Amino acid sequence: MKVLVADKISPSGVEYLRKQPEIEVVEAYGSSQEKILELVGDVDAVIVRSETKITKEVIEAAPSLKAVGRAGVGVDNIDVEAATNRGIIVMNTPGGNTVATAELTFTHLLCGARPVAQAAASMREGKWDRKKFSGTELFRKTLGICGVGRIGGEVARRAQAFGMKVLAYDPYLAPSRAKSLDIEPVELDQLISEADYITVHMPKTERTANLIDEAAFEKMKDGVRIFNCARGGLINEAALVSALKSGKVAAAGLDVFEGEPLAEDSELRKLPNVVLTPHLGASTQEAQENVGVEVAEAILEALAGGVIMNAVNMPSVDKKTLETLKPYLDLAAKLGTVVQQVSPESIEKLKVTYWGKLVDLDANPVTRSVMYGYLQGISGENVNHVNAPLLIKSLGIEVEVTKSNVESDYTELIQLEAINGSGKTYSVSGTVIGKTHMPRIVELNGRDVEATPDGILLILENQDVPGIVGTLGQILGRVEVNIAAMSLSRNEIGGKALTVLALDSEPGKETLEEISTHSAISNVMLVKA
């Protein structure tokens, strides 16, 4: 079998592959895309970092390709969809760069407090200017951390060692996790207004893009210091430039940018109070050694038909078990996505209960699929079936799994409950039906419903009074939003009812507000399943 190592990984990783008698290793560092297209014609696996792009065209040119390994966390340079359609396993190396990125963040923090980089440049020019490079101390200052996952948590520990007070903004951070880290969870506005130093450690999603914008800078203390070693675009660069020029921000440190590589004429390059590094988060000997060996081991195991490790497009199970579990994996992810949207942002526990066939099977991949679905709206492209348990744990969320032998109304059933700190439960249950195993939601917050967890669902509670269905039809029809299906559930005549509408398109904010103003309608939610 042939393995193409397209980007340079640690020598230990390459040597590990070369020691396997059945593996032929081809090293092709720095190859053009055209050269890669030539080389993949007879390879069984490809290893990349961030330089080489494994596009749909590359995948189509590689008929023997079985696995693609990324020595790193992200897989944005790999067409995962095209690979999945071809049955090609895509793997990454989660967790290998946690300490490296946390330490780089703290390096930037220290350089923001003490202008070491600027002083070093001045010394090289033959100067001796002590007054110009006076700094400030971290001791007894307040650090605001946006995003307290694996890396954010490591940064918090290092900040405490320097005697800093740590505030944390993370909508999905459980109180128990905050307590264990000895940090104070706050809302974003409070963090922004009280922190002397701010660092961001969130994935870039619709919700977090431009998290720190012009309005946020206006609320900050004069002389605040701000840092980003996570993802470009979390801090609005134009707003940051203005704040650096005005003195609102005394210093900044950036390892990631909205566009990479950073443009040569970027204003950030010209500002004396900002330290820039070229995306070095994972660039330590230890991190590269770890991910190089890790990806080599994963590729070898995949080619040998063993247990799949660190797969981003499939659970780590053997093929026979996977075939049996497939319908439930899809259902579980849908249930996770739905319960995340109908429950509060901060929960303590996810409780998964299985009935039927899953009681006798290894349901671990299905549980991972639940977590994956729950995290999709939180962690965006960074989440997969492999790192979902790690990300859930970093949020302080306990996952409890129960296999029930108690009789159920359904032959196969998965119930998912999200429980907050006060013990309030939000639930959704689902099953699969028919020969095609189509997923169905059959319960929502204790009410019997029947809905397909696909596309856009409009969920609302209302008084059981005449005219509700007609009103909804009129309002949605006026904006040309078609109702594909409807499920109604009431506890008694004239009592509380739960209505679930499957829609062909998404209604606008004004339409939802109009629906919510109806005297008999309450708690309107739009869920994307």
The CATH number assigned to the domain holding 78 equals: 3.40.50.720
Catalytic residue among 18, 279, 437, 490: 279
High-pLDDT (> 70) share of the chain, %:
97
In angstroms, the CA 322 to CA 184 distance is 42
- Maximum distance among all alpha carbons in the chain? 87
Select, from the ranges 126-140, 284-298, 365-379, the one with the highest average predicted confidence (pLDDT). Answer: 126-140
CB 268 within 8 A of CB 254: yes
Q: What is the mean pLDDT of the chain?
A: 91
Both 334 and 447 in one domain: the answer is: yes
Residue 307 has what pLDDT? Answer: 60
Domain holding 419, by residue range, is 315-454
Query: Using CA atoms, how far apart are residues 43 and 17, in angstroms rounded to an integer?
Result: 14
Q: 437 and 491 in one domain?
A: no
Residue whose pair of structure tokens reads 């639940």 in the numeric block: 370
pLDDT for the residue numbered 82: 87
Taking the alpha carbons of 196, 201, 207, 210 in that order, is the dihedral positive or negative?
positive
Give the pLDDT band (50/70/90) at residue 382.
Answer: low
Query: In this predicted model, what pLDDT tens digit does every residue of 69-111 receive, in sequence order?
Result: 999 877 889 998 888 878 788 998 877 788 999 999 999 999 9
At 379 the pLDDT is: 79
pLDDT tens across 116-151, in order?
999 999 999 999 999 999 999 999 999 999 999 889
Percent of the chain's residues with pLDDT above 90: 69
Query: What are 165's strand-pairing partners?
Result: 142
What average pLDDT does this structure show over 488-501? 85
Mean pLDDT to the nearest integer, 246-260: 97
Same domain, residue pair 414 and 299: no
152 and 209: one domain? yes
φ, ψ (nearest 5 deg) of residue 48: -135, 165
Q: Is 279 a residue of the active site?
A: yes
User: Would you give the DSSP letter of residue 393?
Assistant: H
Model-level pTM?
0.73
Whether 381 shows a pLDDT value over 70: the answer reads: no
Q: CATH number, domain at 470?
A: 3.30.70.260
Q: Which of 276, 291, 324 is the last residue of a domain?
A: 276
Together in a domain, 497 and 436: no
Whether residue 518 lies in the annotated active site: no
Shared domain for 503 and 428, answered yes or no, is no
pLDDT-derived band at 203 (thresholds 50, 70, 90) equals confident
Whether 55 and 191 share a structural domain = no
**Catalytic residue list contains 70:** no
Average pLDDT of the segment spanning 27-44: 96
Q: Which two tokens stand for residue 443?
A: 């319960």
Total residues belonging to the chain: 529
From the list 260, 323, 400, 513, the catalytic residue is: 260
pLDDT in tens, 387-443: 788 789 889 999 999 999 888 888 899 999 999 988 999 999 999 998 888 999 999
Q: 519 with 448, same domain?
A: no
- The pLDDT of residue 229 is above 70: yes
Residue 118 dihedral angles phi and psi, to the nearest 5°:
-70, -40
pLDDT of residue 360: 84
**Which amino acid, 515?**
I
Domain match, 450 and 460 both: no
Q: Which two tokens stand for residue 134?
A: 């006076």
Peptide bond into 261 cis (omega under 30): yes
Q: Which residue, of 229, 253, 276, is where some domain finishes? A: 276
pLDDT, position 198: 98
Pair (408, 351) in one structural domain? yes
Q: With beta carbons less than 8 A apart as the criterion, state whether 288 and 50 touch.
A: no
Phi, psi at 10, each rounded to 5°: -65, 145
| Residues 200 and 251 grouped into a single domain | yes
285-303 vs 11-18: helix axis angle to the nearest 10? 20
Q: How far apart are CA 210 and CA 187, in angstroms?
A: 16
pLDDT score recorded for residue 306: 64
pLDDT at site 134? 93
- Of the residues 108, 225, 231, 518, only one is catalytic, namely 231
Looking at residue 362, what is its pLDDT? 80
467-to-240, 512, 518 alpha-carbon distances in Å: 52, 17, 11
Number of domains in the chain: 4
Does the pLDDT value for residue 284 go beyond 70? yes
Looking at the fold, whether 175 and 245 belong to one and the same domain comes out as yes
pLDDT at 316 over 70: no
What SS3 class is residue 449?
strand
Structure tokens at 83: 């690979």
The domain boundary residue, chosen from 436, 454, 472 = 454
